[in-house]
Structure 1
Amino acid sequence: MKNEIVNNGDGTSTIIVNRKNGERVCVLVDTSSVPNLMKVCSTVMVDRFNGKYYAKSWLKSGRREYLHRIVCIPEGDKVVDHINMNPLDNRRENLRAVSRGVNNRNTGTASTNASGFKWVSFERHMKKYRARFTFNNSRIDVGFFDDPNEAYEAAYAKRTEMMTEAGELIVPVEQRFDRAEEVDAA
């Protein structure tokens, strides 16, 4: 691999990506993933998508692939989700194979959100904070609150309850890691 790789000494390694504009971007991976990555990747680069950097790799077979899809290969129609929402953190413990719907729900607060909390908006005419979210294409209204913290806590509790009942908080057991040969052969 053409990139510089630094062993951090804590079971993780950093892949240094030098961008054309001179910027250096660090990509975090498990040290145990490095041998397989070196076997199938010729270089790692980063692309900007929706305001975030994502690590991509040129495979030795000549095609490009997201690095997280090399470290964690999803089965069937599953996608790879970054649990901590940092697409440059490609450690196994931060990746999980989930449905597209679960991946879409694992997002941050919208840039237009004035309350500072996900699922919470301020209703001016009532002078209260509204807690609501969408779950399985249905809008769930949790209620109105005087404090945005209370509204967020109520929305989070209700959402967690609904997701637990739907079985979506459980990370799938049959995740496959470091099956780089299969990715390269595809």
Structure 2
Amino acid sequence: MPFNDYEVRGETTAFFIVRRNGDVHEVLIDTEDLPSLIELGRRWCYNPVGGGYAQNTYYSGTINGKEKYKTIQLHRFILDFPFGKVVDHINRCTLDNRKTNLRACAQKENLQNYRGAFKNNKSGIRGVTLDKEKGKWRALVQVDCKMHHLGYFLDKQEAEKVVTKFRREHMPYSQMDQGEQAI
């Protein structure tokens, strides 16, 4: 199956993944990477798990009479990341696979760039919880497996400001510029 349809837009190329349900996803790459993707001769697909990634699954042989397949994610194909590292999409767009948007990091560093509060957070703000006994908002941030208690606040937005400031100062992989909500 040939490579996906694409558009060259100067130094950036967009290629398109069409899902079975008709949804179209635009994937960005550096134009300099286009020849190696075309040469690979495979169509890239969309995997919705974990925010959505471009990936390719290919036949790798037969073991004990069973067909085996391997899956490679586009960001790993482009940069050939080292074992033991994960890929952080700096702008958090997992379909933006331009080299300037990708960096190798440890899992704990990648989690710094997680958007929004975790599912079990009732305040809606990462690092801010309501202490029902005190009737105040508690600001907490974990860095390098150490929990930092930043104080109690009557106002949830004040707790958010403290968390945001702390994350900017102590978590270099966190993208919290341009007035974004604390994560």
Shift of 1:58: 4.0
> How many pairs were matched up?
164
CA distance in 2, matches of 1:104, 1:55: 20
Q: TM-score, normalised by structure 2?
A: 0.76
- Show the 5 A alignment for 1:26-175: 26-50=26-50, 52-58=51-57, 63-109=70-116, 110-163=118-171
Query: Is 1:3 aligned to 2:10, yes or no?
Result: no
Cα distance, 1:147–1:29 mapped onto 2, change above 3 Å: farther
Shift in CA distance, 38/63, structure 1 to aligned 2, threshold 3 Å: farther
Tell me, in whole angstroms, the C-alpha distance in 2 between the residues paired with 1:159 and 1:19.
Answer: 37
SS at match of 1:21: coil
- Mark the CA change 1:44 to 1:146 in structure 2 (over 3 Å): closer, same or farther: same
SS in 1 for 2:26: strand
Among the aligned pairs, what percent are the same residue? Answer: 30
Aligned amino acid, residue 55 of structure 2: K
Q: Distance in 2 between matches of 1:59 and 1:35?
A: 19
Distance, in Å, in 2 between the alignment partners of 1:119 and 1:6 is: 41
Which residue does 2:181 correspond to in 1? none
User: What residue ranges of structure 1 are gaps of 5+ in the alignment?
Assistant: 170-186
For the aligned residue pairs, the C-alpha RMSD in angstroms reads 2.4
Do the aligned residues in 2 keep the contact of 1:131 with 1:144 (CA within 8 Å)?
A: yes
Alpha-carbon offset, residue 19 of structure 1? 0.9
- CA distance in 1: counterparts of 2:112 and 2:129, whole angstroms: 17
Higher relative contact order (CA 8 A, sep 6+): 1
Tell me if structure 1 keeps the 8 A contact 2:56–2:73. yes
Query: Residue 147 and residue 46 in structure 1: after superposition, are their counterparts in 2 closer, same or farther (change >3 A)?
Result: same
Structure showing greater radius of gyration is: 2
Question: Helix, strand or coil for the counterpart of 2:15?
Answer: strand
Name the aligned partner's letter for residue 45 of structure 2. M
